Amino acid sequence: MRLVSLLALSVALVPTQALAQLAPADADTAVDADSGSAAQAAEGAAAVQDSDHHDHEAEIVVTGVRRKAGDVLGGLSVLDSEELAKELRPSIGETLARQPGVSATSFGPTASAPVLRGLSGDRVRVLTDGIGTLDLSSSGPDHAISINPITAERIEVLRGPSALLFGSSAIGGVVNVIDTRIPRHLPEGTVGADVLAGYGSAAEERFVNGSLNVPVAGRFVFHVDGNWSETDNLRTGGFILSKPLREQALASGDPEIEALADLKGDLPNSASENKEGAVGVAYVGEDGLNIGASVTRHEQNYQVPIRYSLDPDIEAEAPTIDLEQTRYDVRAQIPLGGFFSQV
């Protein structure tokens, strides 16, 4: 009985060991098969990718843009007549305030000057056809620039080292206003006429401008223009004094000074009126010759916002400036040959 039991146990154990030995072999075969399939798939994908790259030739084109030497030394922004019609404001500073890198000083709707790269006053040259404004605007921020942007054909804003060509102090930049008071070209058609009118709600601003170019005696062009603008006190939409000044006014103990803390709405003493007229004549040659002259009369009466005093012994300042200017301009553009292109 014992011998029979041992033989039965041996017979039962043999198939089990055989199955245990066969299992790892089958697993290795399955792993090898999977590895071979993955390798073949990777080789196939690489072959397809290589075929895509080799079947299609790609060309890279590099284009260079030639720039003038003056443009490389600095940035130049130009507002043409269409952009000016959208951005036009009573002063040259407010007109340019929405341009990149440009802000403006503000002493009411009229006395506003451009600020380039944080610099203003003598550090920024404001020109008319390349010549200075010949006014006192650089002596103080409350002095208006005697240029009406309504009459501008385009405005150029120059930044960078090239601005020093217009003066050693122009480290901030240059603003050059180009007008048509000395005509540069013959008008299209028999007569060239432009009329511009507008209205602004913030200061009840009203303005109108008209210009006329008439060709006479062949290639001579006669020009006349005039403009008028008027603004009331500027509507602020809030308190006139800043919060720290209002707190000082309330703590002063003087009833009149305490009343300043409640001032709202219109900015007192900020109205203005501007009138300007000009005549000019020029000869416009076929070969680029251009010789002409113009006379401009500018009259401006504007108020500077009140400078309130929180000291009862000091009277508040409410200045009014009456600006008058008569300007004579002569320009000649003569084409030359050889080393110089023109003078």
How much is the mean pLDDT over the chain?
80
Looking at residue 172, the DSSP 8-state letter turns out to be S
Query: pLDDT band for position 19 (50/70/90)?
Result: very low
d(CA 111, CA 299): 14
Is pLDDT above 70 for 14?
Answer: no
Query: CA 272 from chain center: how many Å?
Result: 26
Q: How many CB atoms lie within 10 A of CB 57?
A: 6
Amino acid, res. 309: S
d(CA 141, CA 93): 11
d(CA 88, CA 291): 30
d(CA 40, CA 48): 12
For 236-261, write each residue's pLDDT tens digit: 888 999 999 999 999 988 898 999 99
Q: Could you give the 3-state DSSP secondary structure of residue 285?
A: coil
Give the end-to-end CA distance of the chain in Å, rounded to a whole number. 134
d(CA 182, CA 283): 9
Single out the residue of 211, 188, 177, 207 nearest to residue 280, CA to CA: 211
Question: What average pLDDT does this structure show over 214-236?
Answer: 91
- The values of phi and psi at residue 161, to 5°, are -60, -30
Query: pLDDT band for position 3 (50/70/90)?
Result: very low
Contact call for residues 113 and 93 (beta carbons, < 8 A): yes
Note the pLDDT of residue 37: 53
Single out the residue of 233, 234, 232, 240 nearest to residue 264, CA to CA: 240
Token representation of residue 2: 């014992």
**Residue that the structure tokens 């009331």 belong to:** 232
Note the pLDDT of residue 82: 85
Note the pLDDT of residue 65: 58
Note the pLDDT of residue 44: 55
**Residues 6 or more apart from 182 whose CB is under 8 A from it?**
129, 223, 280, 282, 290, 292, 293, 294, 329, 331
Note the pLDDT of residue 1: 41
- The values of phi and psi at residue 331, to 5°, are -135, 140
Note the pLDDT of residue 247: 93
Question: What average pLDDT does this structure show over 37-63?
Answer: 59
For 161-197, write each residue's pLDDT tens digit: 888 888 888 888 999 999 889 998 888 878 888 888 8
**Residue that the structure tokens 């680029």 belong to:** 288
Query: CA 287 from chain center: how many Å?
Result: 35
